[in-house]
Amino acid sequence: MCPIKTNNDAVVIIGAGFGGLSAALTLSHQKDKPNIILIDPKEKFVFTPLLYELLSHEMMSWEIAPTYVSLTQDAGINFIQDSVISINTQDKIVQTKQGKVVSYSKLLISTGSKINDFDIPGVSEFASQFKSLNDVKNLGSFIDEINIRDSENKDLVIVGAGSSGVELACKVSDMTSGKINIILLESNDIIMNGSKFFNREIALKELKKRGVKVYLKTEVKEVKSDVVSAFSIQDLNSSHSLFKYKMLIWTAGVKPEIPEITPQVNTERGRIIVDQYLKLIGSESVLLLEMCLLYKANRYHNPHKLLLSKAIWLQRIFIYLF
């Protein structure tokens, strides 16, 4: 164990994605700012919406992925590159993978998400994602191989036809001039579920124009090193379909990535239940942001994560801290 000395007013923020980093930088601009400690395992902040432009070489990596040190050092934020493995809300300490113990007065949990494999065999072993610089590098190498060599296996399978999956399919098709066979698998009966009808229609036209094969109402059962086994939800008695691939990208969903918390907290659907101020129920010193939280109230039709604009949740941070 390696205790880190902090002042009594230390605000520890776990997770330096959009929510955590924005909270840290906003707090650093306050006149009477507290001691701010930001913890994240990554070296760089990745602006994920621009990964598509990085893939097509329209932007450089330094433009969309500055280091956390460069973003925080002038703001007086203490950045620790490490993963938090446990939180003790009674003792007000967090413990990191490297053995550091950090005490806090207030704690903000904004740890983001990880791939949701829905317990499907083989997904975590063989599926790639599209959320990091390394993911872009791997997909870029695959595209280069298609363009430079006349590779026999040109199949790209993308699981999940949400906005990310659709945009990725179109981008890869454009970058390979149609040389690649792209298969898009979706368990819903429509693509881009939740989007406006007009946007879905435009997306379908773009996919069709590029020859992307879209399979709706199709669920993945198992993933192996070179083939995806899936079945039609519409006809459960039908035989499984096998989709061979050279590369498999999973955009079918994510789930919260939350460290172990003691004492045990109330959760539902993988999210921690909070009150209307986004505070952990039973702990006045812990606030949650983004995917980690779940707020339940009668005015919501069903339990889901509380979606807040940046202005609202930052306002609640200040109410909570000051």
In three-state form (DSSP H/G/I as H, E/B as E, the rest C), the secondary structure along 146-178 is HHHCCCCCCEEEEECCCHHHHHHHHHHHHHCCC
- Note the pLDDT of residue 287: 86
pLDDT given at position 236: 60
Cβ(270)–Cβ(114) below 8 Å? no
Please name which of 3, 86, 96 lies closest in space to residue 41, comparing C-alpha atoms.
96
Which structural domains are found in the chain, ordered by start?
2-115+255-321 (3.50.50.60), 123-252 (3.50.50.60)
Averages of pLDDT over each 10 residues, the chain, 322 residues: 61 92 89 91 94 94 95 94 95 95 93 88 95 95 86 85 96 91 95 94 96 95 95 73 94 88 82 79 82 51 44 60 58
**Can you tell me the distance from the alpha carbon of 45 to that of 179, in angstroms, rounded to the nearest whole number?**
33
The reported pLDDT for the residue numbered 289 is 78
Question: What is the structure's pLDDT at 300?
Answer: 40
Residue 288 burial (CB count, 10 A):
29
- Whole-angstrom Cα distance, residue 311 to residue 316? 9
Q: What is the pLDDT of residue 149?
A: 76
Peptide bond into 263 cis (omega under 30): yes
Tokens of 220: 């993945």
Amino acid at 238: S
At residue 304, the pLDDT reads 39
Find the radius of gyration of the CA atoms of the chain: 22
Q: How far is the CA of 104 from the CAs of 36, 61, 112, 293, in angstroms?
A: 10, 34, 20, 20
**In Å, how far are 155, 179, 181, 250 from 152, measured between CA atoms?**
9, 11, 11, 23
Helical axes 133-148 vs 163-175, angle rounded to 10°: 40
Query: Strands 247-250, 241-244: parallel, antiparallel or unpaired by DSSP?
Result: unpaired
Query: CA torsion, points 50, 113, 9, 313, in degrees to nearest 10?
Result: 70
